[in-house]
Structure formats: structure tokens, C-alpha cells
Amino acid sequence: MTVDQAPAPASAWWPRIAGALLALAVAAVHVVDQGGFPGSKAPAYVGIGYYIVEVAAIVTAGLLIAGAVRIGWALAMAVAAGPVVGYVLSRGPGLPGYTDDIGNWTEPLGLASLAAEGLLFFLALTMLGRALAAERRAATGRVPTRAPHP
């Protein structure tokens, strides 16, 4: 049984719920920004990118709630990082056929998206690191120890 197949410990429920809610917030911001669902975002490749982010965010939330921690947190990092890259590129140099947002760094919806994505990324990074460390310890049979206080 792999880490993704085993149920997650009950003590780790709150980060998974927080991660799921943040992933859903990322999806919601993108649905609102494209004008609802199915919405429209031109050029077509930007709209497709939005759909990919939205679906991946919903899948991420489901994985985290189900306790599939390794793949859930890894996907959460991608769900968070992808839109940040798109935000920087669309506001900085612009994207092919999509120059409307160049210089629009303070759009409230964009800032809300960045906040959710930043929180999700760092939560996912922390929790994925913990999951991988626990998997390594389990594979080697070592138990974590604390250094004695001086």
C-alpha cells in the first residue's frame, strides 16, 4: 500500500481541508474572471488554460479531502504556480494575442487570486515535504527524534 492509498492520519485533516478550500478559491476566481461558466476568455488558448486550472483545482480539492496526500499536494502546487506564471506574463510582457492586462498589476480579482495561490503553494510545499519525509522514515524504519533541550 502506498502513501496515496493509505488513509491520511486524522490529525492532518485541517491542512487538507484548508488546501481543498484554497484550491476551490483558485477555481472560483478563474470562473468569475472568465465571466461565469462556460464563460469566454480570448484568445482561445487563454480560455483553455482557465478551464485546465479550474478542473485541476477541483480534482486537487477532491484528492486532498480523500486523503491522497502526495499527489494531492503535488497537484496543489501546480494549481497554485500555474496561474501565478500566467498572471506575471499577462501583466508584464503580455501574451500572444492577449495584451489587455499589461500593467494591470492591482486588479482586485487578480490580487485575490494571487493571495489564494500563494497560500496554497506554501501550504502544499510544507505538507508535501512532511508527507515525503514521513514516507522516507517509514521506508527506513526510523522514528523522528527531537534534540534534547539544553
pLDDT at 1: 47
Contact 76, 60 (CB under 8 A): yes
Asked if pLDDT for residue 6 goes beyond 90, the answer is no
pTM (2 d.p.): 0.83
Does the pLDDT value for residue 4 go beyond 60? no
Q: Output the pLDDT for position 149.
A: 58
Cell numbers linked to 146 = 527531537
DSSP H or E stretch at residue 139: helix 108-140
- % of residues, the chain, pLDDT over 90: 62
Mean pLDDT is lowest, of 16-20, 75-79, 114-118, 140-144, for 140-144
* Spatial CA neighbour of 8 closest among 70, 72, 76, 69: 69
Q: Given a cut of 60, is residue 20 above it in pLDDT?
A: yes
Say what the pLDDT of residue 57 is: 98
- pLDDT (average), residues 68-89: 95
d(CA 134, CA 132): 5
Nearest to 68 by CA among 141, 140, 2, 136: 2
> How far apart (Å, rounded) are the C-alpha atoms in residues 27 and 93?
24
In this prediction, residues 81-104 reach a mean pLDDT of 93
User: Predicted confidence band at 38 (pLDDT cuts at 50, 70, 90)?
Assistant: confident
Q: Which residue has the cell 464563460?
A: 39
Determine the average pLDDT of the residues in 32-50: 87
3-class SS letters over 50-90: HHHHHHHHHHHHHHHHHCCHHHHHHHHHHHHHHHHHHHHHH
Distance CA 31, CA 9 (A): 33
Average pLDDT, the chain: 87
